Structure 1
Amino acid sequence: MTEATALDDPTVASVPAPTCLEMTGVSKQFGGHQALEDVSISLSPGRVLALCGANGAGKSTLVRILAGAESADAGTIRVHGSEVSIGAPQDATRLGLSFIHQELNLVPKFTALQNMAMGADRTRRSGVLDLRGLRRKALQVQDRIGYRVPLDARVEDLTVSDRWMVSLGRSLMRDATIVAMDEPTASFTKEEAERLYAIIDELTADGVGIIYISHRLEEVLQVADDVTVLRNGRLVGSFAAADLDLGSLTRHIVGRDVAGVAHRATDVDPTTAPVLLEVAGLTREPRVRDANLTLHRGEILGMAGLVGAGRTELARLLIGADPVGSGTMTLDGAPYRPRSPFDAIRAGVALVPEERRSQGLILRNSVSSNLGMASLKDPSRRSRTYSPRRAAAIAREAVARFGIKATSVHETVGELSGGNQQKIVVGKYVLAGPQLLILDEPTVGVDVGARSEIYDIIRDLAAQGTSILMISSDFEELAICDRVVVMREGTITASVPAARATKDHLTSLCFGTADTAPSDPSALDTATLTAERDPS
């Protein structure tokens, strides 16, 4: 029976649905910026509430207030019907709230087990920490996730994907009644994401309420029961997920229609275009084994693969962040063996890392400082010395060019939204003028509007002759590439034109279940692309 019917019939009592969380009239201001203004949300036990909005809409700020990491200027919070005050993360934990933040918030020097155990109540009667019990619980959680991370490995030695699993595991170590997940599948492929969805189903079946934040709108519609949309810190509306489709949800978020990812009509012919980078037998055990790769000038080359396939590790070898075990690299016809990322940048090779906050930015520095960092001198290259005034002028041009939302180029980067931080990471390497730009998960945590802008930047760079290597777990966005290679168990096992690189086909290649798998990826490139241009 609808609410309207209940109100029309005086004999029928309207019984409100029970809630495990209510945030009412929440407002928050940072300096002169209104991050949240009179926002209200409601979550029921056993349901998934998706928070959607563009970067800077206020989603993460709302969750940080709930987690006790920020304090609201106004508003009330009720947990299971009782008004509460959450002044610190410990308060949130005691109330049964658990969080997977977009920034992960792990301690790099601690082991995976130590990070998972943080905040978990596992002490003996004597007050001594029950280490055996914690390890046993951690193993049970990993079995539940279906993904094993070495518990005694330090987090700083783990891959970004492994760190995500540690963060997810830490949230499941606690007996929480409300779990907030901020971009939990950002670095996941379809199969890893499906595993998380199954965990969410288990949690909601047990009556746990889930707050879910994701820029992957298809998964929002798949996972969520209810959707609340924010825009510029204000509430746009709350909707039943069943009443939304991709188009309507996008319009609510952006305020206009946004075109999807279209296949790039390319002029690059790998059979004739000059080769910029050639990799032969590149190996660094245990993640990269005998990798072979050819990248042509002006080409956008996508790289697909499962978590742990070795994609990020290969990128680190290409920029000298890790030493090569064996194999050769040739850049623009000359031997290439960078000893550090600085060497790579001098040679015209740059990497936009997957983990922007810890690897791509100095959060306490200004927008201008971060944008000019990769150049290590005046970005205009007109002077051998660094000029703050000239750097600020170039930064203002870059802010306009890349659509970065900041009050000024002197604003601290840590105060910006995740999407604007990502644009700064991309922008600082574009300003360095690389001949090869490697992008590792370039649209992680980026809203649908900003994502389209980043795609435009990539296309423009390629049109100007820059070669692009784009690593992505979102197989649909690889449609902007000229071709896509697949990495599996440390080796590049397949190469297909992007027009044929569908999500299903790439997933099959990643798992090795495709009908045909090439033994020589380079040979497939030429044969397939030639056949595509000449169907006869």
Structure 2
Amino acid sequence: MSASDAPLLEVVGVSKQFPGVRALDDVSFTLRAGEVHALVGENGAGKSTLIKVLTGVYQPDGGDLRHLGKPVTFNGPLDAQAAGISTIYQEVNLVPLMSVARNLFLGREPRNRFGLVDVARMNREAAEILAGYGITSDVRRPLGLMALGAQQMVALARAVMVDARVVVMDEPTSSLEPREVETLFGVIQRLHERGVGIIYVSHRLDELYRICDAVTILRDGKLVHTGLIKDLDRLQLVSHMLGRPMSDVRKAGFTSFGGEHSAAGGKPVLRCADLNSRHKLTGISFEVLPGEVVGLGGLLGAGRSETIKAVAGALPLDSGTVEVDGTTLRRPNPVAALKAGIAVQPEDRKAEGLALGLSIRENIALAVLPRLSTAGVVSERKIDKIVETFISRLRIKASGPHQRVGDLSGGNQQKVLLARLLATGPKVLLLDEPTRGIDVGAKAEVQALIDELAAEGLGVVLVSSDAEELVEGSDRVVVLRDGAVAGELRGDEVTTEHLMNVIATAAS
């Protein structure tokens, strides 16, 4: 796809600061007419913040925003929409109880000569428009009854209907079937031919190299590369995203994928076989031995967190089995997984892990109350003993067990969450980004603790976006891509260079 030289949208030296975080640091970005421009980067790179600046959700703290060559200030999303900028979010933001046609024309319904909504005309035009997107369902049905992929296509049709000059697509294929993906790419081609500029956010490298003209890569809020995507091979793109040098990567030859693991440690404490979940996981299989740390590697969106949730019973499976210490979980769910000995530390400790308004003692005790109660009466003495044990063992720095968890540092909050998991007496620990958002000193302590737990015989599954941390902390690394296993590193192959090589090779 070629593009004209006229910039539709420009970001010049934009910065955005939040308390304690510099989300964007002197970032520049240019979108030209008829260009499909990929915006990529790992978690926390600044992609979402940049999109929110472009669409008026956030105001930049520094730098300029230009629309059609002129300085502009968008005081909100409506200003951006009025300028012809439409956004299609990964999560469908329409009204599920309203009809498909109503959603499509929401806020701009056709009217008859009496000023009333012309329902017949609206339904007819909606059906005609959606037929071009491969949707032939009855447009009078509630949107919520349609498949998620079809809802996404309705959102796309609505965004394009407003005579948009710029369309932002945030992971648009994440919920689509292969047939729907092809339809989407056809729509993108038509928009390109009309001179519409598209900002395309995705972690699927195949898609980027198939439909995008240019690419901008962010890392830690900074611009690390921008240019034509054809001038950047996949290994270079991965290198920029992860912040690893290219020189060593090109010398690293990957020697083997998969195969049986022969490390000592007895029978697997965790065995996952052919885990499948619609649109998320395809045939995921791996095992963990007692005392072994198995890393899950891959780019953001590869299926790492989804795999953790599937093993823990939080993501429904269409097929596949999870086996703990030789026993199969017949109906995987969070309660069954916990009883079987699986403990999970979620990626977002504040939203999904901790009760920030409660004390250290209360947070740790939450996991063991059923075990410490007799006839419904809980032994306070037993709780105190467990809490004191884990505060000491994990070296949690606090004024005492009754200090509010929300007042602790990020590293100590992470330790409280780990203490609660360990209090359940698990056989397997699933750790999703255990060192995210904590300082260097606390990170080293958490990493040392993981090593200690593995040495005591626990099986550990470790997810980390930091390639170096993943490699240093894992005995083996299972590399994922698009929800499937792309390869496995073991022994001398467990290096950052080999990890990047697998990610780039699997995406080619």
Match of 1:124? 111
Native 8 Å contact 1:77 1:84 kept in 2: yes
Residues 202-234 of structure 1: per-residue CA shift (max 9 Å, x gap): 110121110112233343233221222333323
Match of 2:231? 243
- Displacement of 1:405 in angstroms is 3.7
Partner secondary structure for residue 465 of structure 2: helix
1:267 to 257, 261, 267: 261
Match of 1:413? none
Aligned pairs (5 A) from 1:28-43: 28-43=16-31
Mapped to 2, the partners of 1:351 and 1:400 lie a distance apart of 8
Cα distance change, pair 395–142 in 1 and its aligned pair in 2 (3 A): farther
Opposite residue 404 of structure 1, the aligned amino acid is R
Match of 1:215? 203
- Displacement of 1:59 in angstroms is 1.9
Cα distance change, pair 319–35 in 1 and its aligned pair in 2 (3 A): closer
Match of 1:377? 367
Mapped to 2, the partners of 1:434 and 1:131 lie a distance apart of 66
Native 8 Å contact 1:138 1:169 kept in 2: no
Native 8 Å contact 2:217 2:240 kept in 1: yes
- Displacement of 1:179 in angstroms is 0.4
Native 8 Å contact 1:368 1:409 kept in 2: no
Native 8 Å contact 2:322 2:332 kept in 1: no
Alignment of 1:59 with 2:52, yes or no, is no
- Displacement of 1:383 in angstroms is 2.4
Aligned pairs (5 A) from 1:306-317: none
2:339 to 337, 340, 346: 346
Mapped to 1, the partners of 2:345 and 2:350 lie a distance apart of 7
Match of 1:282? none
Task: Say how many residue pairs are matched.
Answer: 413
Aligned pairs (5 A) from 1:130-149: 130-146=118-134
- Displacement of 1:246 in angstroms is 1.4
Cα distance change, pair 191–247 in 1 and its aligned pair in 2 (3 A): farther
Native 8 Å contact 2:134 2:180 kept in 1: no
Native 8 Å contact 1:117 1:170 kept in 2: yes
Match of 1:450? 465
Partner secondary structure for residue 33 of structure 2: coil
Native 8 Å contact 2:38 2:214 kept in 1: yes
Moved more, 31-40 or 62-71: 31-40
Cα distance change, pair 69–336 in 1 and its aligned pair in 2 (3 A): same
Mapped to 2, the partners of 1:62 and 1:52 lie a distance apart of 11
- Displacement of 1:273 in angstroms is 6.4
Mapped to 2, the partners of 1:320 and 1:253 lie a distance apart of 29
1:479 to 473, 481, 487: 487
Mapped to 2, the partners of 1:267 and 1:227 lie a distance apart of 39
Native 8 Å contact 1:112 1:166 kept in 2: no
Residues 338-381 of structure 1: per-residue CA shift (max 9 Å, x gap): 5953343333357899xx89x99459976999xx9899438999
Mapped to 2, the partners of 1:375 and 1:183 lie a distance apart of 39
Native 8 Å contact 1:22 1:40 kept in 2: yes
Moved more, 176-185 or 226-235: 226-235
Native 8 Å contact 1:366 1:409 kept in 2: no
Match of 2:215? 227
Native 8 Å contact 1:122 1:130 kept in 2: yes
Cα distance change, pair 275–129 in 1 and its aligned pair in 2 (3 A): farther
Cα distance change, pair 173–228 in 1 and its aligned pair in 2 (3 A): same
Alignment of 1:20 with 2:13, yes or no, is no
Native 8 Å contact 1:115 1:166 kept in 2: no
- Displacement of 1:24 in angstroms is 2.4
Mapped to 1, the partners of 2:154 and 2:353 lie a distance apart of 23
Mapped to 2, the partners of 1:92 and 1:201 lie a distance apart of 23
Mapped to 1, the partners of 2:225 and 2:64 lie a distance apart of 19
Opposite residue 117 of structure 1, the aligned amino acid is L
Residues 247-281 of structure 1: per-residue CA shift (max 9 Å, x gap): 23333334424769972453179xx96797799xx
Aligned pairs (5 A) from 1:483-498: none
Match of 1:404? 436
Mapped to 2, the partners of 1:166 and 1:185 lie a distance apart of 13
Opposite residue 177 of structure 1, the aligned amino acid is R
Opposite residue 377 of structure 1, the aligned amino acid is A
Mapped to 1, the partners of 2:179 and 2:384 lie a distance apart of 46
- Displacement of 1:122 in angstroms is 2.3
Match of 1:86? 74
Mapped to 1, the partners of 2:85 and 2:335 lie a distance apart of 43
Cα distance change, pair 340–56 in 1 and its aligned pair in 2 (3 A): closer
Residues 506-530 of structure 1: per-residue CA shift (max 9 Å, x gap): xxxxxxxxxxxxxxxxxxxxxxxxx
- Displacement of 1:177 in angstroms is 1.6
Mapped to 1, the partners of 2:460 and 2:123 lie a distance apart of 42
Mapped to 2, the partners of 1:367 and 1:408 lie a distance apart of 26
Opposite residue 124 of structure 1, the aligned amino acid is R
Match of 1:46? 34
Native 8 Å contact 1:47 1:210 kept in 2: yes
Q: What's the TM-score, normalizing by structure 1?
A: 0.56
Mapped to 2, the partners of 1:215 and 1:330 lie a distance apart of 31
Mapped to 1, the partners of 2:183 and 2:435 lie a distance apart of 35
Partner secondary structure for residue 27 of structure 2: strand
Native 8 Å contact 1:137 1:173 kept in 2: no
Partner secondary structure for residue 132 of structure 2: helix
Provide structure 1 residue ranges, at least 5 long, that are not aligned to the other structure: 1-15, 280-286, 303-311, 411-426, 443-448, 483-498, 505-536
Cα distance change, pair 452–77 in 1 and its aligned pair in 2 (3 A): same
Task: Indicate the percent of aligned positions where both proteins have the same amino acid.
Answer: 29
Mapped to 2, the partners of 1:184 and 1:96 lie a distance apart of 19
Native 8 Å contact 1:48 1:211 kept in 2: yes
Native 8 Å contact 1:116 1:138 kept in 2: no
Partner secondary structure for residue 61 of structure 1: helix
Partner secondary structure for residue 29 of structure 2: strand
- Displacement of 1:240 in angstroms is 1.8
Cα distance change, pair 337–266 in 1 and its aligned pair in 2 (3 A): closer
- Displacement of 1:17 in angstroms is 2.3
Native 8 Å contact 2:149 2:177 kept in 1: no
Match of 1:507? none
